[in-house]
């Protein structure tokens, strides 16, 4: 119906006259035309929090894409404590989705219900964010710097973790732990939470970070383990990017691709989307409403900011194995033909 109206309208407008061959077309009367309304694929909503007011343009669209950007740089300005010439977010060869060169098919990155939101202090704009109701797929890039909230879950078997533990010959505690992790717990699933950090240091570093890893005091755990298991692990915590002699902070440049959303490594399939992914720019710290849990807020620091939130079940939007954390994650192919990136 909408299509027919469009075609009638366009021809009436463009031609202004009826050709003989167009006899079956009938111009819309004003009355009928007044009944035509656009589809409700967009609306505007408001919000307020912490002294700020918000206006949001919601778009009812589903986007499937496999795309490449040679240079993505937001907020390249002088910032205290940061190296000159750097940007809040700087990623080369950025890509969403992947391709399968064996078949020529693409594996698109899915976005549902994107929105654009403005934060006001009175009538002054203090922030703008572009968010996605849901996002799912591979995000790739040569990451130079990231400002934001990028939680990561690292998981893996004790056998692999033990192989990475390096103990000084005199460190009997370390040797004992390595033996237990690689022995009694060899087949147990270990886990740790990681975020943007300084390296060396292991301190949280949400601004122009170059490393991701375990912050000081962060402990390993066995999610399905007993209280005793986790009590034992609780005796060891990451300090200055090291835990039991193994490195716990890793350069972001090592990670060619991140799965955004819940990704089943065994089947290589995405099982759920990440909710609450957004990119924002603000002149002050702004608490944006969390799309994952509408009762909560995500504080975005002044500047350009990327938010990849934890899922409702507490899992991170990005989940990677210890092996990938230690050795890096190879980039998925994002270019048709022989190139894998930079196309």
Partner 1 sequence: MQRLFLASLLGGLAGLANAELQALDDEKLATVSGAGFGMVIENFLYDGTQATITINDITNGSGQNVPIAVKELYVGATGSNKGSNLQPVNIGRLSYPWTLDLVKGENLKTLRDDGQLVQTVPTNLSILSFAAPDKIFGAGGQPCISGYAAAGNNCSMRSTEKVDAGIRFDFSVTGSRTDVINMDFTELTMDGSYLRLWGDNSRQQLVGEARINLYAKTLEILSCATGAAGCNTAQELAARTIYFTNTYAQFALGYGKSQPLLFDVTSNGQFVLELPNPVAGVTNATTRNQIAADFYANAPRTNILIDNLNFGGTRSSPTAVPTGGYNFGRNEISGMSFNYLKVSSHDL
The correct pick among 105, 251, 264, 269 for binding partner 1 (CB under 8 A) is: 105
Q: How far is the CB of 150 from partner 1 (least distance, A)?
A: 20
| Residue 240 lies near partner 1 (rule: CB under 8 A) | no
Part in contact with partner 1 (CB under 8 A); list of ranges 7-15, 172-180, 255-263, 292-300: 7-15
Are 240 and 214 in contact by the 8 Å Cβ rule? The answer is: no
Decide: is 14 part of the binding site for partner 1 (CB under 8 A): yes
Stretch that binds partner 1, among 151-159, 237-245, 262-270, 329-337 (CB under 8 A): 329-337
Size of the site for partner 1 (CB under 8 A): 74
* Rounded CA Rg of the chain: 25
Task: Pick the piece of the chain touching partner 1 (CB under 8 A) from 119-127, 190-198, 259-267, 309-317.
Answer: 119-127
Smallest gap, in angstroms, from Cβ of residue 110 to partner 1?
A: 10
d(CA 328, CA 259): 13
Tokens of 320: 């990677």
Two tokens at 30? 């004003």
Decide whether 32 or 70 has the Cβ nearer to partner 1: 70
Which one of the spans 38-46, 185-193, 213-221, 249-257 is the region binding partner 1 (CB under 8 A)? 38-46
- Residue 195 within binding range of partner 1, rule CB under 8 A: no
| Site for partner 1 contains 120 (CB under 8 A) | yes
Give me the residue label for tokens 């949400």: 206
20: contact with partner 1 by CB under 8 A: yes
The distance of closest approach from Cβ of residue 281 to partner 1 in the complex, given in angstroms and rounded to an integer, is 6
Q: Could you tell me the two tokens for 133?
A: 């109701």
Q: Which of 11, 160, 236, 297 binds partner 1 (CB under 8 A)?
A: 11
Binding residues for partner 1 restricted to 45-84, rule: CB under 8 A: 45-46, 53, 55, 58-78
255 contacts 329 by C-beta, under 8 angstroms: yes
- Give the footprint of partner 1 on residues 264-323 (CB under 8 A): 281, 283, 302-304
Q: Which of 13, 31, 41, 235 binds partner 1 (CB under 8 A)?
A: 41
Q: Closest by alpha carbon to 261, among 270, 253, 250, 251?
A: 270
Cα–Cα distances in Å, from 184 out to 177, 181, 187, 188, 254?
10, 6, 8, 8, 31
Task: Return d(Cα 118, Cα 126) in angstroms, integer.
Answer: 8
Please tell me whether residue 2 binds partner 1 under the rule CB under 8 A.
yes
Which residue's structure tokens are 């000084």?
168
Which pair of tokens denotes residue 152?
A: 């990561």
- CB contact at 8 A, 110 and 137: yes
21 binds partner 1 (CB under 8 A): yes
Measure the CA–CA gap between 215 and 151, rounded to whole angstroms: 12
Is residue 87 at the binding interface for partner 1, with CB under 8 A as the rule? yes
Task: For partner 1, give the closer residue by CB, 212 or 302.
Answer: 302
User: According to the binding rule CB under 8 A, does residue 1 interact with partner 1?
Assistant: yes
Contact 236, 220 (CB under 8 A): yes
**Which DSSP symbol is given to 309?**
P
């Amino acid at each position: 119906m909408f299509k027919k109206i469009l075609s009638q309208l366009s021809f009436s407008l463009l031609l202004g006259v009826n050709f003989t061959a167009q006899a079956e077309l009938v111009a819309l009367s004003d009355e009928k035309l007044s009944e035509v309304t656009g589809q409700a694929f967009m609306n505007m909503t408001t919000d307020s929090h912490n002294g700020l007011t918000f206006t949001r343009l919601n778009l009812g669209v589903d986007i499937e894409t496999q795309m490449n950007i040679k240079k993505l740089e937001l907020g390249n300005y002088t910032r205290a404590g940061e190296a000159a010439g750097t940007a809040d977010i700087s990623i080369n060869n950025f890509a969403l989705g992947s391709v399968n060169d064996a078949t020529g098919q693409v594996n698109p990155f899915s976005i549902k219900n994107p929105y654009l939101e403005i934060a006001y202090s009175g009538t002054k704009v203090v922030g703008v964010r572009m968010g996605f109701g849901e996002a799912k797929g591979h995000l790739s890039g040569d990451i130079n710097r990231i400002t934001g909230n990028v939680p990561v879950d690292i998981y893996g078997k004790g056998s692999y973790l033990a192989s990475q533990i390096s103990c000084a010959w005199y460190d009997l505690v370390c040797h004992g732990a390595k033996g237990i992790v690689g022995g009694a717990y060899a087949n147990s699933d270990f886990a740790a939470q990681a975020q943007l950090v300084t390296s060396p240091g292991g301190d949280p570093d949400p601004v122009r970070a170059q490393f991701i890893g375990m912050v000081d005091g962060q402990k390993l755990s066995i999610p399905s383990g007993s209280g005793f298991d986790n009590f034992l692990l609780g005796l060891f915590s990451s300090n200055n990017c090291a835990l039991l002699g193994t490195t716990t902070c890793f350069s972001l440049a090592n990670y060619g691709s991140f799965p955004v959303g819940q990704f089943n490594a065994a089947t290589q399939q995405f099982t759920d989307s990440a909710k609450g992914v957004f990119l924002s720019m603000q002149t002050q710290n702004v608490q944006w409403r969390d799309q994952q849990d509408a009762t909560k807020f995500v504080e975005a620091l002044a500047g350009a900011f990327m938010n990849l939130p934890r899922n409702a079940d507490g899992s991170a939007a990005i989940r990677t194995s210890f092996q990938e954390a230690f050795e890096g994650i190879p980039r998925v192919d994002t270019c048709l033909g022989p190139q894998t990136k930079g196309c």
